[in-house]
Structure 1
Amino acid sequence: MASSQAVRTGRADGSPSRTPAPTGTRHRPARRSSDPDAPTIQLRTTVAAPAAVKPPPARAQAPAKTPAKPRTRRSQTTTVAVLVPAHNEEEGIAATVEGLLSQDVPEWLEISGIVVVANNCTDRTAEIARRYPVTVLEMPDNPDKKAGALNHGWRVAAQDAELVLTMDADTVLLDDTVAAMAAELRGNVVLGAVCARYWATPGKGLAWRMQRLEYARYDDLRDLRGWRVSVASGAAAMYRSAALAAVAKARAAGEPWDGSSLIEDYALTLELKALGWRVAAARNAHVYTTPPDTFRALWTQRLRWGRGGMDECLKRGWSTATRKDIFAYGLFGFSVFFRLLFVTMLALMIIYAVPFRYALIGLIPLAVMWLERMTSMWRLPGRSFTDVALVAIVLVEDVYGFFLEWCAVVAAWRCLNARRQAW
């Protein structure tokens, strides 16, 4: 493994090349040119010194009491180390790094370093990353894949920071994402980790549209749950260093991330919950992530997610950390059963020519589902006529739902039969 520090210059005047978004609006950071000679920006790792705070006026003291001794004011600066594991991400690593470099850093926050871990790369990911003022670590032979890359970056460059941000190399942060996530952790000492609210990057094709709608609905669900989540999504998650150290101490390997897990972010979330930490979504932190662009790639991803989640629950059994997720798997089984029952009922109505007045009763669940989907879609940022049409006709989304459910059923079958599932 080789480690290198890449330093480069930005514009001639040293200023960042971005335009601040209007207050109260959300804009996706523009993807910058992949041209290696395109102008870029400088990392602002230094922060303004905290403003001087005037001591409060002394309270009137009774003559018999001795005035209290003045306390020493502790530093209010919070440090964040960023880890970006990247496997053959030459197309998106530039946008990911530039999104990090363009963060608005308030006076109480300091980005102590950005580390890109080139994980089993066979392309130009490391070469492109070195053009920026970040640390690049190369792991040409990493058997533990993403978990191994995260553990290596954590050991080398992140243990001294108070907070650790991990993110996928195909994810782009909004300008205030790091500050919003750090603020959530500073404001709640029982939180061990927070994840960002993720949205699909602009794309095209039916697979992209379906996932875009799915992400928006999942965001609504997080809101209804009071921003509680079952997993600190690996797209962008920030951890308290004390929580990571506690997990590393509890694990035999002495590292936070489990290299044997298919979904290391979920395994770490369960470890945090088992140790008494809470995990939530940072309501003001937004990121854009690139979803699979084909249904074949989506099948592979969801099969790994489904199998990995079930494996982790079976490994740990019924516990305070897993009971809600196991219960959710049970509800999923009932959902699949009733969906099949509903389809069978509609088919029988058509075959046996059930009178229309009775058929309407069977359509009530369909009407409720349609209304819920339309309401959720209406809150989708940047919705188009195509999005409205896809949801309104119901059939396309229903087929997509069958696709995801069948993928989960296959994952459950492989899990129960101990069939090996790889990346």
Structure 2
Amino acid sequence: MTRTGSGHPRHSRPGDGQDSRRRRPPPKGRSPRRRRRPPVARTATANGLPSGPRGHWFLVAAGLLVVAAALTLDGYATGVVGETRPGPPAGFASAESAEVRRGGPVVNVTGDRPTSVRLPGRTVALTFNDGPDPEWTPQVLDVLARHGAKATFFVVGSKVARHPDLARRIVAEGHELGNHTYSHADLTAVPGWRLRLESSLTQRALAGATGLHTTLARPPHSPAPPAVTDLQWAAMKELAAEGHLVVLTDLDAEDWSRPGTAEIVASSLPAGGEGAVVTMRDSGGDRRQTVEALDLVLERLKGEDYRAVTVTEAIGMPSAHRRAGAVDRFFGAALNLAQRASETFTGVLRWALFIAGALTLGRFGFFIVLAGVHAHRTRGGTRRRNAVGGWPSPPPVTVIVPAYNEAAGIQATLRSLVATSYRGELEILVVDDGSTDGTANLAAAPGFPGVRVIRRPNGGKPAALNTGIAQASHELLIMVDGDTVFERATIGRLVRRFADPAIGAVSGNTKVGNRRGAIGRWQHIEYVIGFNLDRRAFELLDCMATVPGAVGAFRRSALVALGGVSGDTLAEDTDLTMALCRAGWRVVYEENAVAWTEAPASLGELWRQRYRWCYGTLQAMWKHRRAVVERNPFGRRCLGYLTLFHVLLPLLAPVVDLMAIYAIAVDDPLPVVAAWAGFVLVQGLIGWYALLLDGERASALWILPLQQFVYRQLMYLVVIQSLATALLGVRLRWHGIRREGTFNEFTQAAGRSLPAGGPRRP
């Protein structure tokens, strides 16, 4: 997608209904015959955008919403979104909470006053928090089965959704499930709606995994009854309103701190034959000590005639499990599936973004090395070559200028061509492609020696170029757009590369002339870094994708052998370059052959230009897709590079932005800001090197960070729009950009010649 181009409004694609020839009227007395038109693809409107409903933008928005929903669900389930931690202890003031503090660990708040129950003697209700965990929960279940003990598992809903098989195994082996919230949120630190959501989501997850609901609940970070605060008591009342019996603890093993197996055993054994609710954890880290301690605790309890049962069995109540309705089971299964899908999608996305970042940085590094090698070879070769390379004398050259409505800049282009320092025979052909603004008359004005104007009906840029090729008198051709000016030495520097008979085309160095505003400066940086730096590497890899229409030189015999410039795509320069490479010709880059072009001056015109470029490049890639399996490595290198870095990675760019916004909104923004700053720094260093190679001022880089907030988004939206246009079968018409006549004042002031160094230094 690296070219510049003039504004031909029509494309000479055979059968596209854009022929400018008039139809003859039918003979008098005979009605015109109506012929059925064959179905054709939808065309685009005059501004270059597809006609009809833009459904693909709806699909893009829907896709981003799906990504946002997946990130949010995964973040909520893993505690990134809405994560809470235990707050500072609250006061002990209310009479109700005081009554709970004096009671037992199983609290019923359904009546007017709270009641609680203590476990009978020689009875232990083993409870496990924070699971299920795929590593430790099965080991805990194995130990319980070995001792014939039953336990109550207070599960986290998001983990049930992630491991429904473990929840089913807990139930199948006769154990009991309790509600420990969906994301392990501290219920004293969340509003009432969040508490109810935590409870209901866990019930849904259980229904989807096991077909059951539970009447037991335990708030995360809950203490033994004597330490219950007023805030915890308020959360317990909310849980009771959701239909839960709240279970606290008598003995907390505090195995979360991994104090050692002996310490856990000591903390888990009731004294004096008393009954107790014992709390351990089967998730949340390394639980090896918990598993070892559980085995020892059960041995000790069995030796002291204790029974290890579920909470409801210990207090003589029916099972806590209730059969969930069909609706709850359906929505629960959907919730569990959505969470697992979001987790998988987010994981894949993170890996994809990591790989994309690594590929991008690797590309930067690889291309910097190749650009350095190319610059070193070029400097050495330039010192050994004279002005015409290996030619005994300057060969004759034909310059072809296709022009459609280029009145604003055509005379500046011609002034730069006739003022060239090239000493060989020079023929300049201006092919006026049906202009309506007097372009041909301006080109034919006195003062342009050697310029011949060819007028033809409008047929598109490829047709205009083919007319010029047919009329050219010489073997070496140079093509230049009507909005571009050459430096004095440009023609000679292009021609000297053809001393090598293997070279079929030479790409010049296109620079942005109108770079005063932010849009112009951004394009200037893009041309130097993204276009001209890449071309240095492409020459060494023999995979040049595009000789730009603004400044390119060709062998006429090579073009004739290909049948001329094809009108099959909107990127005729890319199509032609790929065809030359496939035919076995070398295509090289001459960085000293500088041409100054007028870039779009507004976002709308930039969009239209890049939209055409990108769409045309996709057409060219599809047209030359068979090059991938040819013996010539060009296809695999060029098409592989374009597919990866110009199609696939830009499609990930909106997701990168969305994930960055998401991370800043819900998490610590420092890593995101640091990553962004690091990426901009790398880009800045690469830009500095590229500007240094091109002889440009490094001061242009001050606007590079701002490029990430407008220009970058515009470029990846162009790729999305172009790909959607191609997939939906919309036929894009050629659409030009408005010319400002940027170079007129410079070429006039300099007496027909562009000042040395270009218009940036008038």
Same-fold call, TM > 0.5? yes
**Alignment counterpart, residue 371 of structure 1, candidates 663, 677, 682:** 682
Secondary structure of the corresponding residue to residue 501 of structure 2: coil
Q: Is contact 2:432–2:454 with CA below 8 Å preserved after alignment?
A: yes
- Aligned alpha-carbon RMSD (Å): 2.5
How many angstroms does 1:88 deviate by? 0.9
The aligned amino acid for 1:86 is A
Tell me whether 1:339 sits opposite 2:653 in the alignment. Answer: yes
SS of equivalent to 2:553: strand
Question: 2:487 and 2:616 mapped to 1: Cα distance?
Answer: 29
Distance 1:312 1:78 in 2: 32
| Secondary structure of the structure 1 residue equivalent to 2:590 | strand
Instruction: Report the CA distance shift for 1:313/1:105 in structure 2 as closer, same or farther (over 3 A).
Output: same
In 2, the alpha carbon distance for the partners of 1:246 and 1:192 equals 11
**Equivalence map 1:157-196=2 (5 Å):** 158=472, 160-186=473-499, 188-196=500-508
Confirm or deny: 8 A CA contact 2:510 2:597 kept in the other structure: yes
Matched, 1:86 2:400: no
Partner Cα separation in structure 2 for residue 204 and residue 361 of structure 1: 32
Number of the residue aligned with 1:421 = 732
Q: 2:557 aligns with which of 242, 249, 274?
A: 242
CA shift at 1:239, angstroms?
0.4
The offset of 1:298, in angstroms, is: 1.0
Displacement of 1:99 in angstroms is 0.7
- Is the counterpart of residue 232 in structure 1 residue 543 in structure 2? no
Give, as a single letter, the amino acid of the residue that structure 2 aligns with 1:389.
W
Amino acid in structure 2 at the alignment position of 1:149: A
State the Cα deviation string for residues 319-375 of structure 1 (Å, max 9, x = none): 155433431223344423553443344333323333x7xx43873364033232254
Superposition deviation, residue 297 in structure 1: 1.0
Contact kept in structure 2, 1:173 and 1:287, CA below 8 Å: yes
How far apart are residue 75 of structure 1 and its match? Answer: 6.8
1:400 and 1:190 mapped to 2: Cα distance?
39
Asked if the contact 1:87–1:120 (Cα under 8 Å) also holds between the matched residues in 2, the reply is yes
Alignment correspondent of 2:464: 149
Change (3 A) 1:85 1:334: closer
- Shift in CA distance, 336/270, structure 1 to aligned 2, threshold 3 Å: closer
Q: Would the aligned equivalents of 2:503 and 2:585 in 1 still touch at CA under 8 Å?
A: yes
SS of equivalent residue, structure 1 residue 363: helix
Structure 1 residue runs without a partner (length 5+): 1-49, 51-73, 249-255
Cα distance in 1 for partners of 2:470, 2:475 equals 14
Say whether the 8 Å CA contact 1:390–1:397 is kept in structure 2: no
Note closer, same or farther for the CA distance 1:332–1:96 as it changes in structure 2 (3 Å cut): closer
Q: What is the Cα deviation at residue 184 of structure 1?
A: 0.8
Deviation of 1:281 (Å): 1.3
Question: 1:384: how far off?
Answer: 7.9
- From the CA coordinates, give the structure whose radius of gyration is larger: 2
Offset from partner CA, 1:107-166 (integer Å, 9 cap, x none)? xx322x111111120012111111222111111x222x111111112112x1x4120111
Q: 1:396, CA displacement in angstroms?
A: 3.4
Question: Could you say which residue in structure 1 is the equivalent of 2:413?
Answer: 96
Is the CA contact (8 Å cut-off) linking 1:313 and 1:322 kept in structure 2?
no
Does the 8 Å CA contact 1:210/1:397 hold for their aligned counterparts?
Answer: no
Return the letter of the residue paired with 2:621.
C
Counterpart of 1:119 in structure 2 is 433
Query: Which shows bigger deviation, 311-320 or 274-283?
Result: 311-320
Identical positions, percent: 26
Whole-Å separation in 1 of the counterparts to 2:509 and 2:492: 14
Q: Equivalents in 2 of 1:163, 1:410: separation in Å?
A: 38
| Structure richer in helix, relative to its length | 2
What does 1:47-62 align with in structure 2 at a 5 Å threshold? none
Equivalent residue number for residue 597 of structure 2: 289
SS of equivalent to 1:78? coil
State the shift of 1:235 in Å. 0.4
User: Which position in structure 2 is the counterpart of 1:32?
Assistant: none
Rounded to whole Å, the distance in 2 between the matches of 1:317 and 1:375 is 31
1:232-283: CA deviations, max 9, x gaps?
11001110122112112xxxxxxx1113321211111122112111212113
Shift in Å at residue 315 of structure 1? 2.3
| Residue 305 of structure 1 pairs with residue 613 of structure 2 | yes
Question: CA 1:330–1:204 in structure 2 vs 1: closer, same or farther (change >3 Å)?
Answer: same
* 1:231–1:279 CA contact under 8 A, matched in 2: no
What's the counterpart of residue 277 of structure 1? Answer: 585
Return the letter of the residue paired with 1:364: A
Match of 2:399, SS state, is strand
Letter in 2 for 1:89: E
Structure 1 341/88 Cα, relative in aligned 2: closer, same or farther at 3 Å? closer
Report 1 or 2 for greater relative contact order, CA contacts < 8 Å, sequence distance ≥ 6: 2
* Structure-to-structure mapping, 1:10-49, within 5 angstroms: none
In structure 1, the partner of 2:519 is 207
Which residue is 1:252 aligned to?
none
**TM-score of the aligned structures, taking structure 2 as reference length:** 0.41
Instruction: Determine the C-alpha separation between the residues in 1 that align with 2:646 and 2:417.
Output: 37
| Residue 206 of structure 1: how far off its partner (Å) | 2.2
Q: Give the distance between the partners of 1:243 and 1:138, measured in 2 at CA.
A: 25
Does the alignment pair 1:266 with 2:581?
Answer: no
Q: How many residues align?
A: 330
Which residue type is aligned with residue 88 of structure 1?
N
Q: CA offset at residue 287 of structure 1?
A: 0.7
Q: CA deviation at 1:213?
A: 1.3
Evaluate the alpha carbon distance shift between residue 420 and residue 402 of structure 1 in structure 2; reply closer, same or farther with a 3 A threshold. same
Question: 1:29 maps to what in 2?
Answer: none
Describe the shift of the 1:369–1:334 C-alpha distance in structure 2 as closer, same or farther (beyond 3 A).
farther
TM-score normalized by the length of structure 1:
0.72
Distance across 2 between alignment mates of 1:422 and 1:146: 12
Shift of 1:82: 0.9
1:122-133 superposed matches below 5 A: 122-131=436-445, 132-133=448-449
Deviation at 1:379, TM superposition (A): 5.2
Aligned mates of 1:346, 1:379 — CA distance in 2: 28
More deviation, 307-316/407-416: 307-316
Identify unmatched segments of 5+ residues in structure 2. Answer: 1-387, 735-762
Describe the shift of the 1:377–1:258 C-alpha distance in structure 2 as closer, same or farther (beyond 3 A): same
